[in-house]
Structure 1
Amino acid sequence: MAAAPRSRCDEPLVALAFLIACLWLCCAAVVADGTPWFWGGGGDPYCLTWRVMVEANNAKAWRTVPPQCVAYVAAYMAWGQYYRDVGAAAGLAAAYAAQIDMNADADDAWVLDVDDTCLSNQPYYQARQFGPYDPAAFKAWASRGACPGIPAVQWLFQTLKRRGFRVFLVTGRDEETLGPSTAANLLATGFSGYDRLIMRGSASRGASSVAFKSAVRKQLVADGYRIRGNVGDQWSDLQGDCVGDRAFKLPNPMYFVP
């Protein structure tokens, strides 16, 4: 008895099954050598898990990127996924800001961190293979005033200004040594028209980031501002006192600031 002829409707299903089988084989071959297909860069299978632990603040007080994850972090930061993740966070922050009824009895404010929130230090850290923090080397880098702006945060900053929010930039950089270069770098990358750039002075040197930024926010609240939103790449930007009505954490698997 002759077999029934195959319907044309079956052809797309056969082609799809063949494509899935090919993809599975390719992915299995790639994963077999320790480099998952979806990473875009090399590394150990541990690295994606490690980055999730970092962003969830489960991996506290880590000093450097694990050696086997350097290539993974470099690829994440440079090949697009980092910017997509930052863009998603900035989009959520802007959507939240659009829902806020501006309070006539208070100055509605947002607080933005600077390093790896407004300005990117990715070229510096990648050149150093994401090694331990070196105060002298970082000071030399920041003094150049050449940090690229982070596009999604530039957009968020302008969006907040158009909505009428007061925007304060708060950074742990030292005001005496890095004040002029930081202000010039921000201006060159489109961050102009903020209310104040607040940096560490002599009185706050040696204080933790949480303590320093808490004190700044407490003073803003004492001055009559209501902090509607707070944006930073470190958990220490978003912890402590007067953190604001809502906080938005940006990704940063390059370093940890306590």
Structure 2
Amino acid sequence: MSAYGHHMEQEYSAQSLSSREGSERASSYVMESGFYMSSFATTIFIASLVTVGLLFITLLIALTVMLQSCESKSRGAVEAQKGSYDSNYCHLFSLHMELNNFEADQFPSVCRVVALQYIKEGQYARDLNSTMWMIEDYFGSITPQHDGDVVLMDVDDILSSDPQYSNVSMHRYDHYGCSDCVEEAKHLKHMLILRLYMKLHANGWPLILLSRKPETHRNTSVEYLVTAGFTAWSSLILRSEAELHMDSSDYFSRRRATMQREGFRIMSIISSHMDVLRGPLLGKRIFKLPNPLYHNLEHQIEDTHTPK
């Protein structure tokens, strides 16, 4: 090959090599440009991922809180509805127990709990105060017109506070977390009945006290009533031996009939129990004091607390 030809071949080879290297560099540049990211872009990308993650977590938390809130509201609504149902059911059951003179052991256990809630939440105190206001308002507008006008008061609510008639110790109330509230309710009832008693006596009303207790308890009953502040009554009626096995409604009806024959005129009867408020010869106005349970509260709690 001539020197010129050799020179041309070298030059062509050099150009080819140069062209191939340039092509490879270009190719390398293109490939690298597909994966390369500046530090600023990397920062933005990572920040975006963190933001999206935080938003997602926040959304999950919000949904969880909403679900819990809905569940709590739903549970509260169900419990409130159940509590309202229990209260209404027990109110009706108690009323029919009184009307039909059912025995204490027929009172549902759930209603004993409802009765304690009635006291614990303060509704009993409000009802008792309202009833006393109605009684005092009525007697504030009238006065005795005849010598035989009398007011009958059931005092067994007071006598039940006497230790002789209350055999249940306070720890039984602790089973329901209501030992203090029951004692407070009994004290309030005692004070309000005593206040009413004193007002009626001061306004000239002869007071005849009624009890379901036997005549053999007269001395103890008199002693306790006087100690509790109840004095100067016209008469205290207790059951004779022949009346001990009588239905209480019949017993009270019989006593009212005797009073009428003796010339008394019953103007009003005040009691928390239905047995004395049923039957003939009830007078002009009867008042029923609120009663958490049909029968004695201590007896109901004892039955509930005692294992079967």
Name the TM-score, length of structure 1 as normaliser.
Answer: 0.68
Residue identity in the other structure for 1:234: H
Identity of aligned residues (%): 23
Q: Output one character per residue of 1:3-29: Cα deviation in whole Å (capped at 9) or x when no partner.
A: xxxxxxxxxxxxxxxxxxxxx998754
How many angstroms apart in 2 are the aligned matches of 1:31 and 1:229? 43
Q: Does 1:52 align with 2:91?
A: yes
Cα contact 2:94–2:294 (8 A) shared by 1: no
Cα contact 1:217–1:242 (8 A) shared by 2: yes
Cα gap change, 1:70 to 1:158, in 2 (>3 Å): same
How many angstroms apart in 1 are the aligned matches of 2:196 and 2:245? 31
Cα contact 1:55–1:251 (8 A) shared by 2: no
Q: Output one character per residue of 1:9-55: Cα deviation in whole Å (capped at 9) or x when no partner.
A: xxxxxxxxxxxxxxx998754343x3x39xxxxx8543311343146
Q: Output one character per residue of 1:53-83: Cα deviation in whole Å (capped at 9) or x when no partner.
A: 1464477325343222332212323443222
Report the alpha carbon displacement of residue 95 of structure 1 after superposing the two structures with TM. 1.3
Aligned twin of 1:193: 232
Report the alpha carbon displacement of residue 166 of structure 1 after superposing the two structures with TM. 0.5
Residue identity in the other structure for 2:116: A
Q: Which runs of 5+ in 2 are unaligned?
A: 1-69, 174-185, 297-308
Aligned twin of 1:160: 200
How many angstroms apart in 2 are the aligned matches of 1:128 and 1:254? 19
How many angstroms apart in 1 are the aligned matches of 2:103 and 2:83? 18
Aligned twin of 2:154: 113
Match of residue 263, structure 2, among 210, 216, 224: 224
Match of residue 173, structure 1, among 193, 199, 213: 213
Report the alpha carbon displacement of residue 173 of structure 1 after superposing the two structures with TM. 0.6
Aligned twin of 1:75: 117
How many angstroms apart in 2 are the aligned matches of 1:205 and 1:212? 9
Cα contact 1:55–1:253 (8 A) shared by 2: no
Match of residue 92, structure 1, among 90, 110, 134: 134
How many angstroms apart in 2 are the aligned matches of 1:121 and 1:47? 28
Give the secondary-structure state (helix, strand or coil) at the position aligned to 1:150: helix
Give the secondary-structure state (helix, strand or coil) at the position aligned to 1:90: helix
Residue identity in the other structure for 2:150: A
The structure with the largest helix share of the pair is: 2
How many angstroms apart in 2 are the aligned matches of 1:209 and 1:128? 31
Cα gap change, 1:26 to 1:242, in 2 (>3 Å): farther
Cα contact 2:268–2:285 (8 A) shared by 1: yes
Name the TM-score, length of structure 2 as normaliser.
Answer: 0.58
Residue identity in the other structure for 1:98: G
How many angstroms apart in 2 are the aligned matches of 1:54 and 1:245? 28
Report the alpha carbon displacement of residue 218 of structure 1 after superposing the two structures with TM. 1.6
How many angstroms apart in 1 are the aligned matches of 2:237 and 2:293? 24
The alignment of Structure 1 onto Structure 2 pairs a total of residues equal to 208
How many angstroms apart in 1 are the aligned matches of 2:171 and 2:90? 19
Report the alpha carbon displacement of residue 209 of structure 1 after superposing the two structures with TM. 0.8
Cα gap change, 1:157 to 1:216, in 2 (>3 Å): same
Residue identity in the other structure for 1:172: R
Cα gap change, 1:109 to 1:205, in 2 (>3 Å): same
Q: Which has the larger radius of gyration?
A: 2
Q: Does 1:30 align with 2:70?
A: no
Report the alpha carbon displacement of residue 237 of structure 1 after superposing the two structures with TM. 0.9
Cα contact 1:55–1:252 (8 A) shared by 2: no
Aligned twin of 1:213: 252
How many angstroms apart in 2 are the aligned matches of 1:240 and 1:73? 27
Give the secondary-structure state (helix, strand or coil) at the position aligned to 1:251: coil
Cα gap change, 1:46 to 1:166, in 2 (>3 Å): same
Residue identity in the other structure for 2:202: R
Report the alpha carbon displacement of residue 174 of structure 1 after superposing the two structures with TM. 1.0
Moved more, 246-255 or 201-210: 246-255
Residue identity in the other structure for 1:114: V
